Amino acid sequence: MFNSNSVIRILFQRICNHLNDSYSSYAYAYAYNALFRSGDKFFSSGISKKFPIGLSSEIRVRKISEKKLERVKTLFRNYGFDETQISHIATAQPRVFLNDPQNILLPKLDFLQSIGVPITGIPKIIVRNPSLLGRSLEKQILPCYNFLKSLPLSRKEVVMMVSRNSRILGTNVEKIANNIEVMQQAGVPSSSISFLISRFPSSVQRDNEKFKKCLDEVISMGFNPVRLDFVQAVRVVCETPKPTWDYKVEVFKRFGLSDDEVMSAFRLRPVCMNVSEEKMLSVMDFIINKMKWEPAVVIRSPAVLLCNLEKRTVPRCNVITLLMQKGFLKENYSLASFLQPSEENFLNKFVYKYKDDLPQLADVYSQGMVL
């Protein structure tokens, strides 16, 4: 286990290793202040407050860095960044603090606000992708944004895309355009393309050959390009490495499902293959080994893999099992029929409705214990 001092030392060393000589005096001084400055609760560790070897004048360099650091931090605070977020930027992209806050950083923050990103959303975007502040506004960010505006996307969808993956503002727009063209040639409607780009922009930022290969694979699986689930499947296939995919298939087969049945579940609910292997094991074990239901119920309702096991699946299955045992429901009741309804609808339909006959239902539901 690493103690706090070890973590700080590693972070500091990583920053120093990525800074070339041309930045040495400012960057080293910044790194010192960002990581070891007294009073910074995020990085308080009690380790020695010495400047790195190689600085000719500790006092001179610290004075320069303190002034530059505070100007940048003030700008961030004015845009709603808290100290933890500022410290995160410090470790992830220390060169940000070498930029002129008014002429270099402010225009980029203003740009995000001007396109419709709420002021509360700007810190989240920068913390997830601090390298955005290092990109050229005129040569990279604006050309990418103008390209995105030319797509069949609403202003709200463009903002959503940038908020979810701001790296798209520095990507190769020609690559995105080519991937869009591939989808159009396959017959994917504009509405589905807009859905994929705005909600999962990383999918269309992939190498053109790899993207086309994913598209062809999804077509071979039997998906219809005109349906929305086609691009959902494309997204999953693009984002899932083959070894991971194969392992997830093996998890299903371990519980008695065939390759065809796994593919049937994927065609019915593509995002079911986005679930982690650990959750797959937990859900399948609960449904098949604890509830003693047939594996086929998962194939018919793969959405069960997406539900919260402890807070949704287990309590609701307990209620349904008791209702079946007492003869109030048929044995072949589908998972989707009681897992998909809202909390209020489920309680009204399956708990309150039978409270006179089975007053213990409310406790069975709230306790969440396997019967």
Q: Which residue has the higher pLDDT, 29 or 179?
A: 179
Domain end point (choices 70, 98, 126) = 98
Q: Which residue has the higher pLDDT, 187 or 28?
A: 187
Average pLDDT over every residue of 66-79: 87
Which bin fits 100, alpha (ψ -120 to 50), beta or left (φ > 0)?
Answer: beta
Q: Tens digits of per-residue pLDDT, 15-50?
A: 555 554 444 444 444 454 544 443 344 333 332 333
CA proximity to 103, closest of 71, 146, 129, 131? 71
Does 166 map to a domain?
no
Per the structure, the complete domain to which residue 23 belongs is given by: 1-98
Q: Are 305 and 283 in contact (CB under 8 A)?
A: yes
Does 164 map to a domain?
no
Q: Are 238 and 199 in contact (CB under 8 A)?
A: no
Does 2 map to a domain?
yes
Does 328 map to a domain?
yes
Contacts 24+ apart (CB under 8 A), 55-58: 55/24, 55/25, 55/28, 55/29
Q: What is the CA radius of gyration of the chain?
A: 27
Domain end point (choices 81, 98, 115) = 98
Does 80 map to a domain?
yes
Domain end point (choices 98, 130, 165) = 98
Q: Which residue has the higher pLDDT, 26 or 311?
A: 311
- Among the residue ranges 4-8, 54-58, 279-283, 363-367, the one predicted with the least confidence is 54-58
| CA torsion, ordered 38, 39, 43, 45, to nearest 10 deg | 60
User: Residue for token digits 């071979």?
Assistant: 220
Q: How many domains does the chain have?
A: 2
CA proximity to 297, closest of 319, 323, 264? 264
Does 73 map to a domain?
yes
Q: Are 160 and 198 in contact (CB under 8 A)?
A: yes
Tell if the pTM clears 0.85, that is, is over it: no
